[in-house]
Amino acid sequence: MGNSWTCLYQRDNTNSITKKKSPPYRSPKSSPLFSRSNTKRTAMEDQEVVKLENSVIREQAIAAALLFRQHQQNGNVGFNRSTSVQFPETRSMKKQSFPRSSSTRSTSDKDSMIPGFKDSKVNDLETKHFVLVHGGGFGAWCWYKSIAFLQEDGFEVNAIDLAGSGVSSFDTHSITSLAQYVQPLTDFLEKLENGKKVILVGHDLGGACIAYAMELFPHKVAKAVFISAAMLPSGQSTFEMFSQQDQPPTAIDLDKALIKDVFFNQSPSKDVALASVSMRPIPFAPILGKLSLSDANYGSVRRFYIQTQEDNAIPLSFQETMVKTIPPEQVFKIKGSDHSPFFSRPQSLHKFLVEIAKIPQNSSPLNHPVEAPPPLAE
């Protein structure tokens, strides 16, 4: 390493009978200055040679440093780092952009998995404000993927914790009515500034909750989206709806050993783990509460339904029954989704939410459901 030189010489072997003639020595420079003759030299002579060599090296180093400084002052030379960390800048590399990891990179319009991302037409919509309402036992936490996708697309998003759910400090066992359970949502809509509308999205029991809010604030709700949710006719309760199944439930069981098979049979294990430590008991009073809905209020809001085809909590056949009983404007189907598409198929769910937001006011309803094929990975 560096500019070090070693001067070697052959020692006399006094114990040997014969002496071999040492070959002529030449330095790497092949200069007469560093050449060594065949004659024998004393230690003092060798030291003089070393001093002379070092003197020449120092003079060369000083000359190189002065030359470099002169060029640097004239702006002719730039200081390059070691080639081990130097990346030559070529024309192709200037134009090339390296994508971040797939877990954090922004998705382009060309992404076949999530068409419609980064759409410039978001600002032209009737409203770009989503309000997400969770189902029984869940909380606002369950929407974390949908919140991220929507916000990246330029939408405004609020996820509501209903009474006794999520981080709400209200005692779940103290809830005595559907109105009390939905109060955080109705309070939010009541405080919403006049003239502003939102898209209500309800999952599971959240379907009955957004229906209750639609009846109270129809002028503040542009559209309502039911995701594998209770979409009830007037005068019916969620309990009565489930009682129409062949095997109606007798209790609300959130046994952690069973929630994966019921709610998350297609969801990633990390989301199942999140739910197992975050879900809270489902209050029974809201399930017994009957809805009182009018055509003038509830009926004036455009409704859309998103079906989940691998749902073990609300089977697809029962979702079809609700859609036929009170038909929405349009039906969407997510293939390969369990009861919780915000976990199992978040990108397909996002695609449909954005598509629903883009549906113009004067559009005619479709006579056939729109299906989302199961992606290779979400």
List the catalytic residues: 204, 311, 339
- The first and second tokens of residue 185, run together, are 């949502």
How many beta carbons lie within 10 A of that of residue 107, not counting itself? 18
Task: Please tell me the distance from the alpha carbon of residue 228 to that of residue 316, in angstroms, as a whole number.
Answer: 8
How far apart are the C-alpha atoms of 125 and 154, rounded to whole Å? Answer: 11
Read off the DSSP letter of residue 167.
T
Rounded CA-CA distance 177/182 in Å is: 9
- Measure CA 228 to chain center: 23
Which is nearest to 198 in space by CA: 66, 357, 43, 313?
A: 357
**Pure H helices in the chain:** 43-73, 91-95, 144-152, 178-191, 206-216, 238-243, 259-263, 269-278, 285-288, 316-325, 341-344, 346-358
d(CA 221, CA 217): 7
Residue 204 backbone class (left: φ over 0; alpha: ψ -120 to 50; beta: rest): left
Strands 129-133 and 330-334: unpaired
Q: How far apart are the first and last CA of the chain?
A: 53
Q: Say which residues have a Cβ less than 8 Å from residue 26's Cβ, sequence separation at least 6.
A: 34, 35, 36
